[in-house]
């Protein structure tokens, strides 16, 4: 087991409905030292890809993306989930479904911050059905930029997202892939990597 | 002028309606090296306060808070703006008005992550009328924890938020306080600190 799998076993809580609560260290309270380890690991896995920008999506992707960005020495752009009066002008827009909130959102990125010269690493905390990720990929494509890699903290391997995105040829690296969880026993099985 | 004021002059854009767009480095695209400078500065200003936790609010506060947290070696908790099915159990709740989105939001923090032992530094990117900050302060109070300081990147000094919160006795430190802006000329005046 790697550092993140160990932490999930220690502090993650399995709930009914295939919900994995990791809010004590990942997506409500955030353990910055853990994020640093994730940054080091992603840096190793995406070394030499010429990454010049990290793209993530609000809200819980932002913290990880910012700490990871230190290891690549690049800026972070975060996609926003609703139109704000502070965003104007041309925007890339993708429609995404949210598993957690059971609704559809528009995800937007200002055209100023993604261009054909960009070599993008997409970072997020979770991947389940991959809808948010598909939206982010479509935004990078629309900008004419290149997705050099996708780094996820926790992938729910029993849902479709990861398989679809790997089938599309993307270099998707998840630090922990949960194969199965059992709310009754609290047991969590990870995919061997 | 300090490093942040210089950056606002260089890359900030003044829009009608007292809108200051800093989306190229602060709250859409994020310059992580700039955030590191902010972290160093806040560390100096809140040295010796025994801070053991940073509290911020989604979304644009999260990036700054995580980088600042490295300098204090503490975890970050971010307040969420709407109830999610992944949050359950006892929560601290505050009602806040949003200047940007012109609506009311509930802001919530799980009771697990704030307790009377906590010495909290609150971090956010912007302060205008201070509604979001008042919500965060009320959550810390409700937890019985102590607000040791409040660190803001950019304060709109011509709005009420900063004055009210300083009058309440809080140690509020804003790295840049905009006294006035002119959309016609693009001119920005900062408060001398």
Q: What is the pLDDT of residues B71-102, one digit of tens each?
A: 999 999 999 987 544 555 689 999 887 666 66
Q: Which of B11, B21, B30, B71 to mutate to test the interface with A (most CBs of A within 10 A)?
A: B30
Check: CATH 3.30.450.80 for A3-190? Answer: no
User: For B143-190, what is each residue's pLDDT tens digit?
Assistant: 999 999 999 999 999 999 999 999 999 999 999 999 999 999 999 999
CA A92 to chain CA centroid, Å, is 19
pLDDT at B140: 98
Beta bridge partner(s), residue A180:
A189
Instruction: Please identify which residue in the block is written with the tokens 């020495």.
Output: A73
Average of pLDDT values for A149-176?
97
Whether the CB-CB separation of B106 and B135 falls below 8 Å is answered with no
Residues in B closer than 8 angstroms to A23, CB to CB, are: 86-87, 110, 112
What band does A98 get if pLDDT is binned at 50, 70 and 90?
low
User: What's the pLDDT tens digit per position in B12-26?
Assistant: 999 999 999 999 999
List residues bridging with A105 in a β-sheet.
A96
As a whole number of angstroms, the distance between CA B21 and CA B3 comes to 17
CA A191: distance to chain centroid?
Answer: 18
Which residues of chain A make contact with B19, given a CB cutoff of 8 A? 85-86
pLDDT of residue A85: 47
Cis (ω within 30 of 0) for the bond into B59? Answer: yes
CA Rg value for chain B = 16
Q: Which tokens hold the place of B178?
A: 């905009």
Domain B3-80+112-190 sits in CATH at: 3.40.50.2020
Q: Which two tokens stand for residue B26?
A: 């602060």
Residues A22, B22: Cα–Cα separation, whole Å: 32
pTM for the full predicted model: 0.95
Q: What's the complex ipTM?
A: 0.93
Q: Are A135 and A95 in contact (CB under 8 A)?
A: yes
For residue A141, give every residue at least 6 positions away whose Cβ sits within 8 Å of its Cβ, in sequence order, or none.
Answer: A147
What sections of chain A are H helices per DSSP? 3-11, 32-45, 60-72, 131-142, 161-167
pLDDT score of A101: 60
* Interface contact B67, partner A, CB < 8 A: yes
- A33 touches A40 (CB < 8 A): no
Q: A30 CB near a chain B CB, below 8 Å? A: yes
Domain boundaries, chain A: 3-190
And the tokens for A149? 């890699």
pLDDT average, residue stretch B120-130:
96
Give yes or no for a contact between B182 and B6, defined as CB atoms under 8 angstroms apart: no
pLDDT of A88 > 70? The answer is no
Q: What is the mean pLDDT of chain A?
A: 93
Which is more confident, B126 or B102?
B126
Q: Token pair of B192, please?
A: 């001398």
Q: Give mean pLDDT, residues B30-35.
A: 98
E strands along chain A, which residues? 13-15, 19-21, 29-30, 53-57, 76-79, 91-98, 103-110, 119-127, 146-156, 172-181, 188-190
Tens-digit pLDDT profile for residues A28-65: 999 999 999 999 999 999 999 999 999 999 999 999 99
């Amino acid at each position: 087991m790697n550092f993140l799998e160990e932490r999930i076993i220690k502090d993650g809580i399995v709930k009914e409905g295939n919900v994995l609560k990791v809010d004590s260290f990942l997506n409500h309270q955030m353990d910055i030292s853990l994020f640093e380890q994730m940054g080091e690991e992603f840096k190793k896995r995406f070394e030499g890809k010429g990454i010049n920008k990290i793209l993530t999506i609000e809200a819980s992707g932002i913290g990880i993306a910012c700490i990871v960005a230190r290891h690549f020495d690049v800026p972070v752009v975060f996609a926003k989930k609703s139109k704000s009066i502070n965003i104007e002008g041309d925007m890339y827009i993708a429609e995404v479904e949210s598993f957690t909130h059971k609704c559809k959102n528009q995800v937007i990125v200002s055209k100023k911050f993604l261009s054909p010269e960009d070599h993008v690493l997409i970072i997020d905390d979770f991947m389940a059905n991959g809808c948010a990720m598909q939206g982010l990929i479509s935004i990078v494509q629309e900008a004419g930029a290149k997705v050099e890699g996708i780094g996820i903290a926790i992938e729910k391997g029993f849902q479709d997202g990861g398989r679809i995105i790997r089938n599309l040829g993307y270099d998707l690296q998840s630090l922990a892939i949960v194969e199965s969880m059992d709310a009754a026993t609290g047991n969590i099985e990870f995919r061997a990597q």
